[in-house]
Amino acid sequence: MNKAIQFLKESVSELKKSTWLTKQEVMQSTFLVIIVVALVALYVGLIDFGLTQVLGLVVGGANV
């Protein structure tokens, strides 16, 4: 039990040394992540659509 309390005290001490992002920095980072995720999703979706069309032609023109 003593080790757990010591660990928690040290954890709190280390967290106090940390520098935290401002609200504006968090908002900017979040916006950037949303944009990157949307672009990657669009890219993967286009690749998936293209491969589906190619596979449909290879299989014999069936509507896939």
Question: pLDDT tens digits for 10-57?
Answer: 999 999 899 989 999 999 999 999 999 999 999 999 999 999 999 999
Taking the model in full, what pTM does it have? 0.64
63 located within any domain: no
Distance CA 29, CA 60 (A): 47
Cβ atoms of 56 and 64 within 8 Å: the answer is: yes
Distance CA 17, CA 20 (A): 10
Domain that holds residue 36: 29-53
45 located within any domain: yes
42 located within any domain: yes
11 located within any domain: no
Confidence of residue 60 (pLDDT cuts 50, 70, 90): confident
44 located within any domain: yes
- Domain count across the chain: 1
